[in-house]
Structure 1
Amino acid sequence: MKFDNKEDIIQLTPLWKGERFENGRPKVPADILERMRKITLEEAWGPLWQNGYQFQFEGDFKIIHPEKTMVGRAVTAIMVPKRPDLHETLLNYGHQEEGRSGFFNQWVIDQLEEDDVVVVDMFDKIFKGTYIGGNLGTAISTRTKRGGAVIWGGIRDNQQVVEIDNINVYYRGSDPTAIEDVTMTGMNVPTRIGKAICLPGDVVLGTPAGVIFIPPHLAEEVVVRAEKSQVRDVFGFVRLREGAYTTAQIDSTWSVAMWEDFINWFNTDEAATEYRHLKWDEELEEAKKQNLNGPSSDVRL
């Protein structure tokens, strides 16, 4: 076996058609990541659920900075309980055949790029299961700039880690012990985090409610649908305050006349400026096909 194997990563992520890192990991564009920082957990969850991705969220974490949103590209790892023969084989392989230094967790952090998030299954180990402390937390901060870590296990040096402002860390518990009696069996492989699954290159969205893993080929769709929902809500609030529409009309499938009213507002109102990159041709055409001349009773998702 090989750690961080390019051929395996490409094989696991065939739906991604964009740029990749040298090791084959999908590289979702930085502008999509930046836009992702402005959406909510529920806005990301909706498109994933509707596309059949129903095991992408886990909320049972402690959070170093619960008030901050975390976004980045996943670098994954799997740790298992130590079995001496397997442990020595894999540790020696990494050192001798792949030229890695230090312990398994250091190998992963040495791979990090800007905007990355470490995603590690530590099989919920906390005592002697502290994947990072102050030193490795600082290394994550330096390498990722604004990423962080999702650890299904423990951390140590919380008083130091909490002082690192530019990253966030989601973890299961704290302990003063160092990491021991664990072996890494995979780097940049499919990884289970609680009830969720994460693949290398997934966009990790960390919120106060928990973490959701967004497949790279759906990242742009998730962002666009979230932004469209946001700006439609802005329009709806404006028209409701004006008394132009009822709440039933705003919350139902829009008529052609409502869509035309919205698009005119969207193109001219200052409140829509940051959303002007969005296009509405499909929505207007769909309304015309349905010949919707008045409000429908269908509630929009």
Structure 2
Amino acid sequence: MPNLTYKMNPMPAQIPQEKLDRLSRLETATIGHFYHFGFAHPAIQPVLPGKVIAATVTTLVIPGLDSTLLHHCLSQVGPGYFMAVDRLGDTKYACWGGGVTRMAAMMGLSGACVDGPHTDTAEVEEQDFAIWSRGPSPVTTRLYDSGGGFNVPVCIGGAAVLPGYAVLADPSGVLFIAPEDLDDVLEQGELKTERGRINEAKITEGAHLGEMSGATAMVSAKTAG
């Protein structure tokens, strides 16, 4: 008989650390110049400032009022993983609070993203845990044993995410990258980052952005006369 309550899959293989180290040196906003997949809605923002996480994604989906599976699955995760929690559209009930944060930190989870609210911000700060959410809520979930899925396909802020994806989460937002895209994203991101450093130095030295980008020439061509 199929299990219609809990869908449980094993932890995905971790992405090589060398690639994650390279990813951590990039910015989501830099990759956003050329890559158009996997960006979570900008309403999902960091709870703590200045956090940057590059890790392998483990996924979870739980219904609005129920966090039973989240409590259980925290025992399955560990260092190098980032938990992406799909709340099935709920934006009222906070599944992630102080106790969950403490357990996640004890397990060494690298970070988490909730497509919904969190609670107990002070305890998140106390644990110095990296989490992204849609903001705080005082209304929390309970243990109703109604079901959910672990390491299943999820949707996080409009982005389709599979377990085993790479994630880059930073002050600008959260980006999920399919493993088959990662090498190209790293290569283009590193190239664009270096070009950005060169252009920033030129502007510091007095160059005008419009002249460098070609925008001034475009405007001049249509306004000259």
Band the TM-score falls in, shorter-chain normalisation: 0.7 to 0.9
- In the superposition, relative to structure 1, how do residues 59 and 184 fare at CA in structure 2: closer, same or farther (>3 Å)? farther
| Number of corresponding residues | 210
Check conservation: 1:26, 1:216, Cα contact below 8 A: no
Which of the numbers 60, 65, 68 marks the counterpart of 2:43? 60
Provide the residue aligned with 2:7 in structure 1: 3
Partner residue in 1 for 2:90: 125
2:101 maps to 1:114:
no
Local SS of the residue matching 1:110: coil
Match of 1:170 in 2: 132
In 2, Cα distance between the equivalents of 1:249 and 1:174? 44
> Contact 1:132–1:156 (CA<8 Å) still a contact in 2?
yes
**Partner SS state of residue 120, structure 1:** strand
Structure 2 vs 1, CA of residues 232 and 160 (structure 1 numbering), >3 Å: closer, same or farther? same
Structure 2 residue aligned with 1:104: 69
Query: Do the aligned residues in 2 keep the contact of 1:63 with 1:170 (CA within 8 Å)?
Result: yes
User: Who is 1:75 aligned against?
Assistant: 58
Map of 1:296 onto structure 2 = none
**Structure 1 equivalent of residue 222 of structure 2:** none
- CA shift at 1:75, angstroms? 0.9
**RMSD of aligned Cα (Å):** 3.3
Deviation of the 1:154 alpha carbon = 2.6
Counterparts of residues 146-185 of structure 1 (less than 5 Å): 147-165=110-128, 167-180=129-142, 183-185=146-148
What is the Cα deviation at residue 124 of structure 1? Answer: 4.2
**3-state SS of the aligned residue for 2:63?**
strand
> What code does the residue aligned with 1:39 have?
L
Task: Kindly provide the amino acid, as one letter, of the partner of residue 137 in structure 2.
Answer: D
Matching residue within 137, 147, 171 for 1:208? 171
Contact 1:81 1:183 in 2 (8 A): no
Could you tell me which amino acid in structure 2 is paired with residue 111 of structure 1? Q
Q: Please tell me whether Structure 1 or Structure 2 has the larger radius of gyration of its CA atoms.
A: 1
Mapping for residues 6-45 of structure 1, pairs under 5 Å: 6=10, 23=11, 25-45=12-32
Q: Percent identical across equivalent pairs?
A: 22
Q: Write the distance in 2 (CA, Å) between the matches of 1:170 and 1:222.
A: 22
Equivalent position amino acid for 1:66 in 2: P
Question: SS at 1:117's partner residue?
Answer: strand
